[in-house]
Structure 1
Amino acid sequence: MKKLFLYGLFTLSVLQANGQQGAAPKFGLTYLDDSQPMEERIEDALSRMTLEEKIAMIHAQSNFTTPGVPRLGIPEIMMTDGPHGVNKELEWNSWNSAGWTNDAATAFPAMTCLAATWNPEISLRYGQAIGEEARYRKKDVLLGPALNIYRTPANGRNFEYMGEDPYLVSKMVPAYVKGVQQNGVAACIKHYALNNQETWRGHIDVEVSDRALYEIYLPGFKAGILEGNAWAIMGSYNKYRGQWCTHNKRLNNEILKGEWQFNGVVISDWGSTHNTDEAALNGLDIEMGTWTDGLTTSEKFAFNRYYMADPYLRKIQDGTLPLSTLDDKVRRILRLNLRTNMDRNKPYGSFTTPEHYDVAREVAEEGIVLLKNDKNFFPIPVGRYHKIVVIGENATRRLSTGGGSSNVKVSKEITPLEGLIEKYGADKIFYTMGYGSGPTSYGFATESPYNADSLKREALALAKDADVVLYIGGLNKNFNQDCESGDRLSYGLPFGQDELIEDLLKVNKNMGIIIISGNGVAMPWLNKVPALMQSWYLGSETGTATANVISGKANPSGRLPFSIPKRWEDNGAMSFGTMSYPGDSIRQVYMEDILVGYRWHDTRKIPALFPFGYGLSYTTFAYGKASADRAAYGENDVIMVSVPLSNKGTVSGAEVVQIYASQHKPSLPRPVKELKGFQKVFLEPGESRIVEIDIPVKDLAYFDDAAHAWVVEKDKFTLHCAASSTDIKSSVSIQIK
């Protein structure tokens, strides 16, 4: 009975007997026949649906589900928060835990860590693993990955994003999306678009040039759609050009569904829908979370009053709104059904497997960035020291929870301290907090229950005679740190950590610092410490990965996915004052325009504390001179840049070879250079390789907003082979004909 479900026969007889609106009697149930073309199945199902059934499909029936059409055997759509792990089960219509005992998932590293790997291959494995967990839990849509650009280091949600560079994001996203969707689970890329801060996110009206929109803020979404073939996308809370992004005519109809020909589903962020007419006409397909604040509060069981529920139904019935736009929404949802829960060939998935923990650990190890390492402070081999003192709350804090909707109920989470004890032995590791932050909070300020002076005194006493001190601090996922719904309030480390570090250095200078955060922080003590690592929210295998990198079992190969400025004012967006960030509470203007991140630092000659693309290794790499395969190219050609690379050290390691492009005489202002290619290369000690990186000439284009077109000019370009945005090894000039 491949072609028919038994209840389909019953359904057909009911339709024939009742003669329901939109349900013409038919004897072949094409929509249930998976041997038929998808679009024919969609049209067949659509023709059998009543107007009321169509309306029901386009809005929520619970916090995380939308109804199908039970009469026709079309299942409901089950969604789950991501993108770092499948969220716990919640009650049907509240934000409370459902109390399940079998919903504790694998926590994968946050998106900043994935971006810091600069490795699309591991991004694919990440997507496959989290997709398997979502499929096992019978989820149809994973609400991730998050792609918004790191515009300022103040954004509380930067830890969910992939950094400041649109090219890096565009190369990491498609692999993640494909990995998830191999499991019959839709990746829902978010938050479309211009959701670059949490302060006033629910109403701020963003003003940005077309050029910055197309060159900086849209490429990640475009790559997710055109290269990753994402099946869903989520609208953002904010406004653009005076219209809510979730039902924004320009973003949805003209760009997404027009220029990019997106055939998937646009889902609102929870509570981001505001108007029936705009939602109906401007490309929103599924309305979720209306009458909630997207966080903790909600109006109970208001689903029929959603903007795209009864109000939409009445407007179609009285002729105010056309049926055609509703049918377009339902077609897209049916397409989502056929790709996910109605695909009888989808895999079963798997959950919290050793393989998933391996992926989490490997991403974590590849993402940790070694920023400073005087006199080879790191690695610290097992057996070198008798007394290793570990100081810092983040050494024991479980950081998979908190931070907002991306928090994960974990099956296990190994803390850094647990990993270090396992690696070096309980008799070698001595721990004290040093500082305390208080409980995790989501949207509400909390106070530390600890006595700061007592914690500091204990830390100083323990560090005084230590062979080596490892300080593990940074930010956490409390409100006004790395947390949804609020931005950071200052650039320094919170809870008195900067002062604590200064005092610790007075009693023991042999101290390495590990910052755990999703954002850059001020480092007034940097010149006084011998070694520094940038770590991230690493998930279930935090401790194992951290100990492996510190001990040298794993060689750090992460590279910064964003610039770390010396001061907040050195950041382009923040340098222009409050109208640029965070705005006046109603409106804001992206005054730095296309000069985001390293583009700003380079062009305005304001050095970053640590530049984009930067990271050290336990081995040494030697670059030869870069060359191009020829001197001149047409606009449809592909440039191949070659560079010899050798591992001159004694341990295996990975280098990220980066290619930046500069145009000599552009008609419009351009940044000094822009990332246009990269490759992560793994080499054994003494091994050499010719690294070849392809750069399509079309990628050298800028967006001419006057002509509304991408333009590659006839001009001379210089391609820089580099180890970071500031560490250029050699350059080669080419001519575009």
Structure 2
Amino acid sequence: MAFDVDHVLAEATTEELAALVCGSGSWHTTGIPRLGVPPLRLADGPHGLRVTEQLLTQAVPATCFPTAAGLGSSWNPALLKRVGEALAHEAIALGVDVVLGPGLNIKRSPLCGRNFEYFSEDPLLSGTLSAALVYGLQSNGVGGCLKHFAVNNQETDRMRVDAVVAERTLREIYLAGFQRAVTAAAPWMVMCSYNRVNGTLASQNSWLLTDVLRGDWDYSGVVVSDWGAVYDRIAALIAGLDLEMPQAQGRAEAVAAAVEAGELSREVLEVAAERLLALTDKAASAVRPAGKIGHHDLARQAALESMVLLRNDGVLPLAPQAKVALIGAFAATPRYQGSGSSKVNPRELDRLLDTLSARCDVTYAPGFRLSGELDDDLIDEALLAAEDAEVIVACLGLPDAEEAEGFDRTHMRIPENQRALVASLSEAGKPVVVVLSNGAAVEVADWVEETSALLEAWLGGEAGALALAQVLTGEAEPSGRLTETLGLRLEDYPSALMFPGESGQVMYGEGVLVGYRGFDALEREVAFPFGFGLGYTTFRYDSLTLTDTGSVVTRDLRVAVSVTLTNTGERAGAEVVQVYVRNAPASVSRPVRELRGYTKVWLEPGETRTVIVGLGIDAFAFWSTPHERFVVESGVYAIEAGPHSRDLPLSGGLRLDVPRLPSALHDESTIAEWFADTEAMEALQARAVARTGERFALSEQMYTVVAGQPLRRFAMFPGGVLTAEDVDAVLAEYGRSV
């Protein structure tokens, strides 16, 4: 039932408004019954509803979809929208108003214990997929909540660690996905993270919560804390955090007392309360479909699109009724989701032992202990099971104990007992198909050559085993693509030397060179590149054409990238056409190339289609710290298309001519920066000539020595043709003060 927000604000007492912004119990907001304001019910999670009354109690049954690591690998926003719709239907059935998801933090390091909850190392992919899921939720009257804002890229010391990140890196990488999802989908809520960002807790960070989120992105929804993230409720309110969750003892009373004492203005409290009331009114007024629990078939479809075939020597798909030695404890005890706040109590749960046995002649052996101890007897049993088999399917991966919310991994290896099993199976003289069940990247380079096929199944949800059996036998196509680079070894990752930090601080020293951006900049070989994935058919890329309209100056530049794609195989299949922009030389160091668009298409055998991917002005922009905004510089940009980041057979050039940016010189600008600003430098030279008859000049050797020195300080030395007064005069016309 709807209510009048303005009336409630006018009539509510300070104590009622203070209670409103502090939550009730573990999962509800606080209502104002006498004014007709109901409480809202919130619930995890990103890949399935976790509805409980208390924080750690067993959840009611709900559909468990693949985790975000898998859903992201679908590269399919339409699928994410359908998953969002299904989550909304289940939320309605369970009386939930806002679902606490999706999570879209960047996969900075493969060691992050919560990577299974996140989509990608790339912000474009994370942002578009998150927006689609939120749209699916909210188009059915249930709110979405983006999390964790921001720079929550590790579990180590997560409640207090200070993430030290340059603003350009924040804007281009760690905030960019949130910006895309916020502006495209208008989520009802955004959840702040636990950590500090550049010295200030996210819950008290007015630059993040107010300047960027509300000022730059025009967000009008509710900012909610992660559970237990608020240290100082008054400071958090002032910074822009509207709702603290869960209920904390004495918080509401403290807020009311702060207003009474003049430490917190009633206006600040009313702003937060108004946002919560508007959201509550929206939820109460929403037109919702009938609720429904149970979306097993959609969970299966999502798992199908999540699986990434990394290697196939022709052994897959399996022949009908093939004699299969099914090896590995995960075949009987599936690893289908991660542990922590997102853990779902599934309504159904498929096992590969059952689903593959219905399609093939299967002999099963566990092969290894989930606890990690090496057991030679189990390996011997596995070899015995393989004797009469035509092919071995080994189900490997990471047990719950090795990756979960709350801690980070210390290495990328699969357990040693599984590594020993692979080595033994590879000597059995039979093709070995390895299926991985894991939420984050693992090292495969030292054993992949011992396999005939490698299938990354991620954490596939309740129907993952059914989807897996269909992929293995060719009933369905593996159509997933990697959303993160699989490096040869942990040491190759750009963040390796700085993760997870020390003494309460983690430095993001690799800057914007995260994931494939860093591997490309360092020219490092990888096991499998970003965007990679095989199928049971093949595709040919032909004739890229570019059509541009608008301009950078008018901020309406649009580029249509047209690619001719042909299915050259004998089976229908899906291909993800990926478009990258190879950046023109710029005034700052930029990544070699960046993903700027993509689309997933399904083609029948022999079918040819023209695929069009649209790019906007943001595809060519970078964050200019001196100008405090995104800018585009003149130059020729190569627009590349292909199946993954290191196979881009098509390329076309686009020249952009952009007016010179306003000068960003200041009194600390270096000699090199002055020489780069031709107009301001000429004005400075004119003053020098007018006074001394000479231009300011440096030999090549001297320039090399002093280029990094602030010009104003250099001009203060006696005997030169420039003076500090000259510099100040030109700065007054062309520059800005520090």
Q: TM-score range by the shorter chain?
A: 0.7 to 0.9
Q: 1:178 to 1:430 in 2, by over 3 A?
A: same
What secondary structure, in the 3-state scheme, does the structure 2 residue paired with 1:498 have? helix
Residue 510 of structure 1 corresponds to 431
Question: Is the 1:234–1:246 Cα contact (8 Å) retained in structure 2?
Answer: no
Residue 275 of structure 2 corresponds to 332
What is the rounded CA distance, in whole Å, between the counterparts of 1:519 and 1:402 in structure 2? 10
What secondary structure, in the 3-state scheme, does the structure 2 residue paired with 1:694 have? strand
Residue 395 of structure 1 corresponds to 331
Question: Is the 1:389–1:468 Cα contact (8 Å) retained in structure 2?
Answer: yes
Letter aligned with residue 565 of structure 1: G
Residue 305 of structure 1 corresponds to 250
Residue 63 of structure 1 corresponds to 26
1:215 and 2:172 equivalent? Answer: yes
Question: Is the 2:227–2:246 Cα contact (8 Å) retained in structure 1?
Answer: yes
Question: Is the 2:337–2:459 Cα contact (8 Å) retained in structure 1?
Answer: no
Q: 1:179 to 1:734 in 2, by over 3 A?
A: same
Which of the residues 462, 470, 477 maps onto 2:385?
Answer: 462
Which of the residues 540, 549, 557 maps onto 1:622?
Answer: 540
> How far off is 1:495 after superposition?
5.0
Residue 557 of structure 1 corresponds to 479
1:194 and 2:151 equivalent? Answer: yes
What is the rounded CA distance, in whole Å, between the counterparts of 1:328 and 1:315 in structure 2? 16
Q: 1:145 to 1:669 in 2, by over 3 A?
A: same
Residue 363 of structure 2 corresponds to 430
Letter aligned with residue 440 of structure 2: N
What secondary structure, in the 3-state scheme, does the structure 1 residue paired with 2:589 have? coil
Residue 304 of structure 2 corresponds to 365
Q: 1:344 to 1:227 in 2, by over 3 A?
A: closer
The one-character-per-residue Cα deviations of 1:56-85 (angstroms, maximum 9, x if unpaired) are 111122111122111122111111110110
TM-score normalised by length of structure 2 = 0.86
> How far off is 1:585 after superposition?
3.7
TM-score normalised by length of structure 1 = 0.86
Alignment of 1:714-733 (within 5 A): 714-733=634-653
1:525 and 2:424 equivalent? Answer: no
What secondary structure, in the 3-state scheme, does the structure 1 residue paired with 2:462 have? helix
Q: Which runs of 5+ in 2 are unaligned?
A: 658-738
> How far off is 1:699 after superposition?
2.3
Residue 322 of structure 1 corresponds to 265
What is the rounded CA distance, in whole Å, between the counterparts of 1:55 and 1:148 in structure 2? 31
What secondary structure, in the 3-state scheme, does the structure 1 residue paired with 2:132 have? helix
What secondary structure, in the 3-state scheme, does the structure 2 residue paired with 1:187 have? strand
Residue 56 of structure 2 corresponds to 95
The one-character-per-residue Cα deviations of 1:94-122 (angstroms, maximum 9, x if unpaired) are 52237xxxx31010111111111111111
What is the rounded CA distance, in whole Å, between the counterparts of 1:631 and 1:44 in structure 2? 48
Alignment of 1:13-24 (within 5 A): none
How many residues align? The count is 654
What is the rounded CA distance, in whole Å, between the counterparts of 1:265 and 1:423 in structure 2? 50
What is the rounded CA distance, in whole Å, between the counterparts of 1:216 and 1:381 in structure 2? 45
What is the rounded CA distance, in whole Å, between the counterparts of 2:286 and 2:338 in structure 1? 36
Residue 472 of structure 1 corresponds to 395
Alignment of 1:578-597 (within 5 A): 580-597=498-515
CA RMSD of aligned residues (A): 1.7
What is the rounded CA distance, in whole Å, between the counterparts of 1:632 and 1:46 in structure 2? 46
> How far off is 1:367 after superposition?
1.3
The one-character-per-residue Cα deviations of 1:479-521 (angstroms, maximum 9, x if unpaired) are xx33100011221102521121111111234111111112111
Question: Is the 2:24–2:246 Cα contact (8 Å) retained in structure 1?
Answer: no
What is the rounded CA distance, in whole Å, between the counterparts of 1:632 and 1:118 in structure 2? 28
Question: Is the 1:435–1:495 Cα contact (8 Å) retained in structure 2?
Answer: no
What is the rounded CA distance, in whole Å, between the counterparts of 1:499 and 1:415 in structure 2? 24
> How far off is 1:605 after superposition?
0.2
What is the rounded CA distance, in whole Å, between the counterparts of 1:451 and 1:632 in structure 2? 64
Alignment of 1:248-397 (within 5 A): 248-289=205-246, 303-306=248-251, 309-340=252-283, 342-343=284-285, 345-352=287-294, 356-374=295-313, 376-383=314-321, 385=322, 387-397=323-333
The one-character-per-residue Cα deviations of 1:687-720 (angstroms, maximum 9, x if unpaired) are 1011111111332101111211101112110001
> How far off is 1:251 after superposition?
0.7
What is the rounded CA distance, in whole Å, between the counterparts of 1:401 and 1:178 in structure 2? 24
What is the rounded CA distance, in whole Å, between the counterparts of 1:247 and 1:192 in structure 2? 12
Letter aligned with residue 367 of structure 2: G
Alignment of 1:660-675 (within 5 A): 660-675=580-595
The one-character-per-residue Cα deviations of 1:646-701 (angstroms, maximum 9, x if unpaired) are 11111100111111101221111111100011111110011101111111133210
Residue 406 of structure 1 corresponds to 342
Alignment of 1:35-50 (within 5 A): 41-50=4-13
What is the rounded CA distance, in whole Å, between the counterparts of 1:696 and 1:626 in structure 2? 17
What secondary structure, in the 3-state scheme, does the structure 1 residue paired with 2:145 have? strand
Alignment of 1:170-189 (within 5 A): 170-189=127-146
What is the rounded CA distance, in whole Å, between the counterparts of 1:405 and 1:689 in structure 2? 43
The one-character-per-residue Cα deviations of 1:173-219 (angstroms, maximum 9, x if unpaired) are 11110101122211011000000011111111010110110000011
The one-character-per-residue Cα deviations of 1:426-474 (angstroms, maximum 9, x if unpaired) are xx11111111224xxxxxxxxx6x7723322221222233211001111
Alignment of 1:637-676 (within 5 A): 637-676=557-596
What is the rounded CA distance, in whole Å, between the counterparts of 1:152 and 1:669 in structure 2? 22
The one-character-per-residue Cα deviations of 1:585-634 (angstroms, maximum 9, x if unpaired) are 41110011000000011111011110000001101101102111259954
What is the rounded CA distance, in whole Å, between the counterparts of 2:358 and 2:138 in structure 1? 36
What secondary structure, in the 3-state scheme, does the structure 2 residue paired with 1:273 have? coil
What secondary structure, in the 3-state scheme, does the structure 2 residue paired with 1:77 have? coil
Residue 26 of structure 1 corresponds to none
What is the rounded CA distance, in whole Å, between the counterparts of 1:656 and 1:402 in structure 2? 27
Which of the residues 104, 113, 118 maps onto 1:156?
Answer: 113
1:418 and 2:344 equivalent? Answer: no
Residue 695 of structure 1 corresponds to 615
Residue 540 of structure 1 corresponds to 462
Residue 709 of structure 2 corresponds to none
> How far off is 1:42 after superposition?
1.8
The one-character-per-residue Cα deviations of 1:11-41 (angstroms, maximum 9, x if unpaired) are xxxxxxxxxxxxxxxxxxxx63xxxxxxxx3
What secondary structure, in the 3-state scheme, does the structure 2 residue paired with 1:609 have? strand
Alignment of 1:74-93 (within 5 A): 74-91=37-54
> How far off is 1:47 after superposition?
1.2
Q: 1:357 to 1:169 in 2, by over 3 A?
A: same
Q: Which of structures 1 and 2 has the bigger CA Rg?
A: 2
Q: Which runs of 5+ in 1 are unaligned?
A: 6-30, 33-40, 291-302, 439-447
Q: Alignment identity in percent?
A: 36
Letter aligned with residue 317 of structure 2: P
Which of the residues 10, 14, 17 maps onto 1:51?
Answer: 14
Residue 605 of structure 1 corresponds to 523
Letter aligned with residue 111 of structure 1: A
> How far off is 1:549 after superposition?
0.7
What is the rounded CA distance, in whole Å, between the counterparts of 1:614 and 1:211 in structure 2? 28
What is the rounded CA distance, in whole Å, between the counterparts of 1:83 and 1:631 in structure 2? 38
> How far off is 1:164 after superposition?
0.3
Q: 1:421 to 1:138 in 2, by over 3 A?
A: same
What is the rounded CA distance, in whole Å, between the counterparts of 2:357 and 2:62 in structure 1? 24
Question: Is the 1:252–1:283 Cα contact (8 Å) retained in structure 2?
Answer: yes
The one-character-per-residue Cα deviations of 1:313-368 (angstroms, maximum 9, x if unpaired) are 1111111111111101111111111221x11523332111xxx2222111111110
